Amino acid sequence: MKLHKHSWALAFAALALVIAARQPLSAQNLDNSEILKPKPDSWPLYHGDYSGKRHSSLTQITPKNVNKLSVAWAFQTNQSFEIKSSPILVDGVLYFTVPDQIWAVDARSGHRIWHFSQPTKKGLHIGHRGVAMLKGWLYFTTTDAHLISLNAKDGTVRWTKEIADVDKGYWTTMSPLIVGNHVIVGVSGDFDNLAGFLRSFDAETGATQWQWDSTPPVGTPNSTTGGMTWMTGTYDPELNLIYWGTGNPTPVLNGKTRPGDDLYTCSIVALNPDTGKLAWGFSISPHDTHDWDAVETPVLVDADFHGQPRKMLMQASRNGYFFVLDRTNGKSLLTTPYGPTNWALGVDKEGHPIPNPDKEPSPDGRLIAPDEGGLTNYRAPSFDPKTGLFIVDAHPSYSIYFAKPADGAYGWAGADYGLWGKGVIDAIDYQTGKIRWTHDLGGNGSGAGVLTTDSGLTITGDGSGNVLALDTSNGKTLWHAGTGAGMESSPTTYELDGRQYILTGNGSLLFAWALPQ
Amino acid sequence: MKTFLGMQRFLAGLTLATAAGFFALWVIEPAVHAAGSGQAAVAPAAPAHAATPAEAGGLLFQQNCTFCHGRDAMGGETGPDLTRSQLVLGDKDGSKISEVIRNGRIEKKMPPFAFSDQQLASLVAFIRERVTAAAAMNGKRRGVEVADLQTGNAESGKQYFDGAGGCSKCHSPTGDLAGIATRFQGLRLEERMLYPRDVKSKVTVTLPNGQTVAGTLAYLDEFTVGLRDANDTYRSWATANVKFKVDSPVEAHAEQFPKYTDADIHNLMAYLQTLR
């Protein structure tokens, strides 16, 4: 009898120990190591991992069984901003945003755990890409250009810091990038001649650690401003470099007051995340006059390029060109169009497109391909290592651009009008830039972000509200579901309790798709 | 025994949590809930201390409209100059402006906004203020005047129309284009010349039994094709179940885009403007 009692006690104690060891003492806790090597049951930052490939190793959902995919749960936000954020998933809780609001949702059931709402009067409510997380804290950029740190358990505010002066014309929408104890934040603001920048905040205290400015200070003669940093960058932990795309110069459509390449607007820059020092910068659109921000994901890929192993950075850029760079030094490996373009005279020997002066906005108008929204925009591409395909939502389009002296040299300084466009998903062979397959999305003009998985699936959407699962090898549709609203964001995926979920934000609803249990 | 007590505690806790949750919702949720398509932007309550409707409208405008229409309503990224808009200038009581804001202009990518009547009135007041301010400005205006678009040569334009442009295959200066320059001027004429957006396509659907149904294309995505038949009845089919052919002569405009020089476009404009 006694023996039995002790055995039970011992067994119970052992079990308790095992359970305690498996579950972190405080849940909703994200270490740097877990961002560095995300587990299948997490999506710890905007891109899913530091490389920005948006490619998952999960294989439960396959080309063979995806036709059984159905709604596991849907979360109704009961408001009407479209979801443009990528939900992050840590310890079974999803966190996602729209301007002014954050939801924490149970990733198993889809029910709300808490909701944060702080309506702001200032700043443009154009959209929001999501929160970042470190330890037990969330980091949220506000429409009026502040950084808020909140307790992930309940959404209470720890501290608020100003990022930029909203009254000058800045606003913020992006999901911060966290490297070490650095919360790295970028800004928006195209209607004024403002300098774009990246700023690193201390994750604990919110103190400013460093700031990197995209352009010379406002007021520098014959110089540009702009270079807004409104999408999340990527990070190489071995090289210890963050990679960031910068936005267009200001004044936007008038380049006369800013001769030259207008560095570092429309560029990809590599910075040291501990100091903010520039390692190298590459001009994606030298002397841009068409508003083609180069803020699209700088995707990091380690693979062979023409027979040689390379650490690469790839970007399908708004200006219509696909770039492959050596990310150790910023040298160009490949620059080629991935759709209709008509604004460049060619590509120089350093891999920069050469803008045609005759295609700058003019008083009587110039026909430009692509339109101002660009051949692609903020919705994410995906790189699939198995096929070597860089898959991107593209928008072949034409527009007319005008600028005349009376439009001045401040802010927009001109006018442009889209004429026609359509939506496609292009699968680009990264070694040649050739498009191996194209999936037509119809005339509604825009698709969605792209996610690929190791089982050979490409998850995306069309402009009519259909979520699509395509065969990565040939682009053919394997499954679809109509959701009533286009996906203005990029899909994510995770595995919980042995079940794989794919998340899409459609309109104001968040859908979790999974195979039947 | 333990289990039952635990369940009771759990239920009590759940009830409390739910009550707290509802309370939190009631306190924290934004004041305005918008129904609808999911494309409208939420409308934060107008500030309590705004002095005038135009000021309140100005705040709403800064939050929701400036990205496309510019901070001064004179045009921005993809959105037109509201201070020149025919609709704005001709709207006596603000109802036309309000309608566009409420319903959006989906084909031009403007989402609908579920604002209250008071908010719409404040936006109308702000826009009207901007119209007055713009009229007082000299120079410094953005936008495209009719005078800006007169750099072409009408005779060259006629040659392009009849020749390389291929326009005369479908259009006639004395037929469908007679008086076109009276109906449209300036930027509107040039936009329509390059790609007229409101043109409907035709479609013929062949059913599995061989029967064909023809009509005006009403809906098309990868999975569904819909048309309005001769009786204006809407009918649709799964694209997987039928064969169909879309007839879209307007696409010839899109096919011409890679072929134009800018001079061709200005010359064509000069020619079309003679067709009054």
B10 or A305, higher pLDDT = A305
Q: Give the nearest chain B residue to A363 (CA atoms).
A: B148
Q: Give the nearest chain A residue to B81 (CA atoms).
A: A415
**Could you give all domains of chain B from N- to C-terminal order, each with its CATH number?**
53-135 (1.10.760.10), 147-197+253-272 (no CATH), 202-249 (2.30.30.100)
Domain annotation covers residue A173: yes
Q: What is the pLDDT of residues A251-281, one digit of tens each?
A: 999 999 999 999 999 999 999 999 999 999 9
The CATH number covering residue A503 comes to 2.140.10.10
Q: Give the nearest chain B residue to A507 (CA atoms).
A: B38
Domain annotation covers residue A99: yes
Beta bridge partners of B212: B206
ipTM of this model? 0.90
> What are A336's two structure tokens?
């080629």
Q: What is the pLDDT of residues A160-181, one digit of tens each?
A: 999 999 999 999 999 999 999 9
DSSP H helices, A78-174, are none
DSSP letters spanning A344-381: EEEE-TTS-EEE-GGGS-BTT-EEESS-TT-SS-SS--
Tally: H helices and E strands in chain A: 2, 40
For residues A482-501, give the mean pLDDT. 96
Task: Tell me the pTM.
Answer: 0.87
Lowest mean pLDDT among A62-71, A194-203, A447-456, B58-67: B58-67
What local confidence, expressed as pLDDT, does residue A4 receive?
A: 57
**Is residue A412 pLDDT above 80, yes or no?**
yes
B94 in reach of chain A (CB within 8 A): no
Q: What is the pLDDT of residues B19-51, one digit of tens each?
A: 443 433 333 333 222 222 333 344 444 445 556
B246 in reach of chain A (CB within 8 A): no
Q: Give the nearest chain B residue to A482 (CA atoms).
A: B223
Place B5 in a pLDDT band, splitting at 50, 70 and 90: very low
**Is residue B64 pLDDT above 80, yes or no?**
yes
What local confidence, expressed as pLDDT, does residue B59 receive?
A: 87
Domain annotation covers residue A73: no
What local confidence, expressed as pLDDT, does residue A268 receive?
A: 98
CB A139 within 8 A of CB B48: no
What local confidence, expressed as pLDDT, does residue B142 receive?
A: 67
Number of domains chain A contains? 1
Lowest mean pLDDT among A66-80, A405-419, A491-505: A405-419
Cβ distance A342 to B28 less than 8 Å, yes or no, reads: no
CB A448 within 8 A of CB A54: no
Domain annotation covers residue A435: yes
What local confidence, expressed as pLDDT, does residue A28 receive?
A: 77
For residues B41-62, give the mean pLDDT. 69
Which residues, 6 or more positions from B110, have their beta carbon under 8 angstroms from its beta carbon? B68, B79, B100, B104
What local confidence, expressed as pLDDT, does residue B198 receive?
A: 85
For residue A253, give its domain range: 2-68+81-484+494-514
What local confidence, expressed as pLDDT, does residue A31 receive?
A: 95
Measured between beta carbons, the chain A residues lying within 8 angstroms of B187 are 417
What percent of chain A lies above the pLDDT cut of 90? 89
What average pLDDT does the structure give for chain A? 94
Structure-derived torsion over alpha carbons of residues B95, B97, B99, B103, reported in degrees to the nearest 10: -170
User: A318: exposed, middle or buried (C-beta count within 10 Å: 0-12, 13-18, 19+)?
Assistant: buried
Q: What is the pLDDT of residues B76-86, one digit of tens each?
A: 666 788 888 88
The minimum CA-CA distance between A483 and chain B, rounded to whole Å, is: 11
Using the 8-state DSSP alphabet, how is residue B137 labeled?
Answer: -
What local confidence, expressed as pLDDT, does residue B134 receive?
A: 80
Q: What is the pLDDT of residues B172-202, one digit of tens each?
A: 999 999 999 999 999 999 999 999 988 999 9
SS3 content of chain A, % helix, strand, coil (to 5): 5, 40, 50
Domain annotation covers residue A76: no
> Among A273, A277, A123, A287, which Cα is nearest to A190's?
A123
Measured between beta carbons, the chain A residues lying within 8 angstroms of B150 are 364
Domain annotation covers residue A61: yes
A79 in reach of chain B (CB within 8 A): yes
Q: What is the pLDDT of residues B93-147, one digit of tens each?
A: 999 999 999 988 876 778 888 899 999 999 999 999 998 888 776 544 567 889 9
CB A402 within 8 A of CB A376: no
What average pLDDT does the structure give for chain B? 82
Q: What is the pLDDT of residues A208-233, one digit of tens each?
A: 999 999 999 999 999 999 999 999 99
In whole angstroms, give the CA distance from residue A344 to residue A320. 10
What local confidence, expressed as pLDDT, does residue A263 receive?
A: 97
